[in-house]
Every structure is written in C-alpha cells, then in structure tokens.
C-alpha cells in the first residue's frame, strides 16, 4: 500500500511508519489552500455526521456561537464573520429560529436591520454542540501541542482578519 514506484519499493527500511506513505506534494508544497481544504473536508464531514441527529449543520453551529458571543449582531455582520454571503445567512438563521434557538428583532434605530439574539434553549444546545465540536477536533490535539494549536489559531485569525474579513460586499 502506498508504494508505487520502483525507487520506493527498493527502499527496505522506513524512517518512520508514516513518512513512507506520504506523497510528494510537488508544486503544492508552497501552497496552503489545498492543505486547508483536505483537513476541513474531513473535519466538517465528521462534525456533520455527529450533528445530524439534532437537525443542524456545521454552519448553523458557527452562526449560533457567533450570535451568542455578539448579541444584537446583524445578519450582514454575521456573514462577514462567517466568511460567507449574506444570502447564505438567511437560511442559517431560519434554521436556528425554527428550532427556537435564536430570534430576529427588528432594530428600532435602523428598521432594515435584524438584531440577532440567542434564546435560553439556544444556549443550552450550544453547549451540547460545542462538546461535539471539541470531540470532533480531538484528533488535532494528538498531532499538535496546545501551544501549537494556539499559534495555529492565531495565525489563521490574522490571515482571515487581514485578508478576507472585508471582502464581503
């Protein structure tokens, strides 16, 4: 398994059990986009599987968490924080509101805006979903130390906030 070239096949000893089966990344070596995707692909799929009983999607969890942490946030602001389009947020909030986990309140100062809030029931389910999210990311804690995970998070936040947070129309 994993052996495809004569050159590799003739190498009798493997430096580590893992390294031998890892493909050369070629020009992808200098890029991080594909690295983000292949990890995120696994994580979101696993998370979605574990969340399916509750009728929620990973995106709804992120939305609920952000509304809980930023009470009164608008949908457009939320779309910026989620890194997606404002139209996508509509169905997310529809879902949360349908479960009775979040509310839309028409802003009195600017009647175009919906101020979003999380209900007590929403806070309860958020705690449960957070536990599932942590469980899903548990494997990361075996590959990376806590210090490394902090560094990783900080770097990803810096990238997002400096590069993309203001791209959304």
Partner DNA sequence: TATTGTTATACTCTATAACTATA
Partner DNA sequence: TATAGTTATAGAGTATAACAATA
- Name the strand (E) or helix (H) holding 104: strand 102-106
Of residues 21 and 148, the one with the C-beta less far from DNA: 21
- Give the β-pairing of 102-106 and 114-118: antiparallel
Q: What is the C-alpha separation between 61 and 99, in angstroms, rounded?
A: 12
Coil, helix or strand at residue 105? strand
In angstroms, what is the minimal distance from the CB of 14 to DNA? 19
Q: What is the C-alpha separation between 29 and 26, in angstroms, rounded?
A: 6
Of residues 90 and 144, the one with the C-beta less far from DNA: 90
User: Interface residues for DNA in 135-154 (CB under 7 A)?
Assistant: none
Using CB under 8 A, count the residues that bind its own copies.
74
Coil, helix or strand at residue 53? helix
Select from 20, 43, 44, 119 the one that contacts DNA (CB under 7 A): 44
Q: Of DNA, its own copies, none, which one sits near residue 87, judging by CB under 5 to 8 A according to partner kind?
A: DNA
In angstroms, what is the minimal distance from the CB of 81 to DNA? 12
Q: CA torsion 92→98→102→105, rounded to 10°?
A: 100
Q: Does 103 bind DNA (CB under 7 A)?
A: no
User: Interface residues for its own copies in 12-41 (CB under 8 A)?
Assistant: 18, 21-41
User: Interface residues for its own copies in 121-160 (CB under 8 A)?
Assistant: 126, 130, 133-134, 136-137, 139-140, 142-144, 148-149, 151-153, 155-160
Residue numbers at the binding site for DNA (CB under 7 A): 1, 37, 41, 44-45, 48, 57-59, 74-77, 84-91, 93-94, 104, 109-114
């Amino acid at each position: 398994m994993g052996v495809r070239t004569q050159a590799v096949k003739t190498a009798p000893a493997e430096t580590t059990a893992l390294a031998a089966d890892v493909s050369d990344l070629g020009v992808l070596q200098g890029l991080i986009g594909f690295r983000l995707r292949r990890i995120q692909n696994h994580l979101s799929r696993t998370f979605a599987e574990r969340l399916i009983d509750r009728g929620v999607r990973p995106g709804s969890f992120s939305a609920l968490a952000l509304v809980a942490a930023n009470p009164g946030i608008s949908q457009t602001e939320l779309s910026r924080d989620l890194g997606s389009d404002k139209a996508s947020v509509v169905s997310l909030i529809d879902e949360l509101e349908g479960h009775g986990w979040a509310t839309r309140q028409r802003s009195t100062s600017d009647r175009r805006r919906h101020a979003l809030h999380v209900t007590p029931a929403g806070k309860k389910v958020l705690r449960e979903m957070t536990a599932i999210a942590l469980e899903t990311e548990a494997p990361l804690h075996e590959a990376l130390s806590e210090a490394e995970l902090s560094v990783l998070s900080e770097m990803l936040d810096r990238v997002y906030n400096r590069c993309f947070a203001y791209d959304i129309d």
